[in-house]
Structure 1
Amino acid sequence: MIITGDDPEYIAFVKAHLRDQFLMTDLGPLRYFLGIEVSSTSDDFSISQEKYIQDLFARAALANKRTVETPMELNVKLRPTDGDPLPDPTHYRHLVGSLVYLAVTRPDISYPVHILSQFVLAPTTVHYSHLLRVLRYLRGTITRCLFFPRSSSLQLQCYSDATWANDPMDRRSLSTYCVFLGGSLVAWKTKKHVVVSRSSVEAELRAMASVTTEVTWLRWLLADFGVCYDTHSTFVRQYRCY
């Protein structure tokens, strides 16, 4: 059971009332939940999945200790026909599924996980090699976490970007965005467009539309919580030449 709030007397009252009705144990402040580790101080708190990553290494049987600086090579474009089909794709599917859950606290692997998850139906040796690269990247960055300072401002800042005709098979683009509430990263996403963009401008506009939808929802959510937030939102976009 997780109880949130800032009134210790009322929290104690709720727990006592629940103990009268149900068989329960108070485990104290939240430290670990579903593979997510929570660390808090009077000034900030952070969430990570370091133990989950270590367990992932054991399941992947990654013997060597080599690390890489980035989770995926620059400008790589994977195809379903690259490499030889894996004789048993179960292991690949299991690892990719684990990485999907890991992306809950590791936005830096959102893009490669999005790419690799497109090949779970029929993965090949090439796809598996790129999957191992993500794991080697995690080995060198295992202590990274999401950090949330308590004194952060309530200004929403949004960053979005898009590729154009990035997929070599269907020519559809990718859009990605991240949203900060003050200095805290609260939302991020990488997604392939459902239609083909006929220009890089159209692809960028679709990316902006996606992050605008997310910001609108976050504003409604903050309003429901009774949070007074800064109404100024900043969009920062990176333009590319194609």
Structure 2
Amino acid sequence: MILTGDDPAHIAFVKQKLCETFLMTDLGPLRYFLGIEITSQSDGYRLTQQRYTLDLLARSGLTDTRTAATPMELHLQLRASDGTPLPDPSRYRHLVGSLVYLAVTRPDISHAVHILSQFVAAPTSVHYAHLLRVLRYLRGTASRGLFYSRHSTLQLQAYSDATWASSPDDRFSVTGYCIFLGSSLIVWKTKKQHTVAKSSAEAEVRALASTVQEVLWLRSILQDFGILQTSPIPLHCDSTGALQIAADPVKHELTKHIGVDAHFTRCHVRSQTVSLHYLPTEVQHLFMLSKLQTYDPS
């Protein structure tokens, strides 16, 4: 079992009592757990899955030594009908399933894995080719992971984004967000929206509402630990239209069908739970890229 806390004497007491009751072995400080490698340093903790990644590459059957600079091409749109069906889809499903678990410490592949996961029922040669690109990207970045600084502040900040009608098969938009606790990334998600958005602003409003919902949950969790968020939590978005609708929904035909999401966000802006901020697309993407690059200990 894993014991946490900042009181060594109390931790030793709990372990002693447990050993008196159960047959246990003290393995010392946490270094490896369910494929995740934990490294304790003077400035913080690093979480990686390098061993898991190398094992995955060995099982993948890649015969070349090439690497890829990015996990997926920019603005790539894959269709279910692209390519020819794989005669045996089991390898594709196995590799994608492994990537899903690898994304626990690799937010840089989460969007690519989200796209590839949509075709596990009937993968094709094209889907498999893009899966191999992700593996080649991992070959060159196997040591990357997450870093949690000991000196990070305990203030939440969130970033929200959405692609509009990016799925060519059904024209659904995709919500994406990430949330930091100080300088440490603690939550990230890529998910298809439940309904088709009629405009990019609508897709962004829905993404904002999803991000606010996650922020509220994290805020309550931190409160249970005695960490209060005394100031509004900054929420960054690159859509001025979505920010205007969320801050002050206009009552007309173009926005009434997204009124619930808009009013949900607006309610928490008024209560000063969150504060909305505009961040240009290029700045937001460059910021996220620099954050992802800092995860590489090399």
Distance of 1:129 and 1:19 partners within structure 2: 51
Number of the residue aligned with 1:220: 220
Number of the residue aligned with 2:251: none
Pair 1:102 & 2:108 matched: no
Q: Check the 8 A contact 1:163/1:200 in 2, yes or no.
A: yes
Identity %: 63
Q: Which moved more, 1:220-229 or 1:195-204?
A: 220-229
Q: Check the 8 A contact 1:36/1:48 in 2, yes or no.
A: yes
> Counterpart amino acid of 1:153?
T
Equivalent residue runs for 1:194-233 within 5 Å: 194-233=194-233
TM-score with structure 1 setting the length = 0.97
Q: Secondary structure in 2 aligned to 1:231?
A: coil
Q: Check the 8 A contact 1:158/1:178 in 2, yes or no.
A: yes
Equivalent residue runs for 1:1-242 within 5 Å: 1-239=1-239
How far residue 232 of structure 1 moved from its aligned partner, in angstroms, is 3.0
> Counterpart amino acid of 1:150?
R
Q: Which moved more, 1:212-221 or 1:39-48?
A: 39-48
How far residue 65 of structure 1 moved from its aligned partner, in angstroms, is 1.5
Q: Check the 8 A contact 1:157/1:233 in 2, yes or no.
A: yes
Q: Check the 8 A contact 1:154/1:230 in 2, yes or no.
A: no
Distance of 1:182 and 1:117 partners within structure 2: 31
Show structure 1 runs of 4+ deviating over 3 A: none
> Counterpart amino acid of 2:149?
P
Q: Check the 8 A contact 1:162/1:173 in 2, yes or no.
A: yes
Distance of 2:58 and 2:114 partners within structure 1: 23
How far residue 75 of structure 1 moved from its aligned partner, in angstroms, is 1.2
Distance of 1:63 and 1:25 partners within structure 2: 42
Q: Secondary structure in 2 aligned to 1:206?
A: helix
Distance of 2:223 and 2:8 partners within structure 1: 24
Q: Check the 8 A contact 1:176/1:207 in 2, yes or no.
A: yes
Distance of 1:44 and 1:52 partners within structure 2: 22
Number of the residue aligned with 2:264: none
Q: Check the 8 A contact 1:156/1:232 in 2, yes or no.
A: no
Question: How many residues are matched?
Answer: 240
Distance of 1:94 and 1:231 partners within structure 2: 45
RMSD between aligned alpha carbons?
Answer: 1.0
**Structure with more helix by fraction:** 2
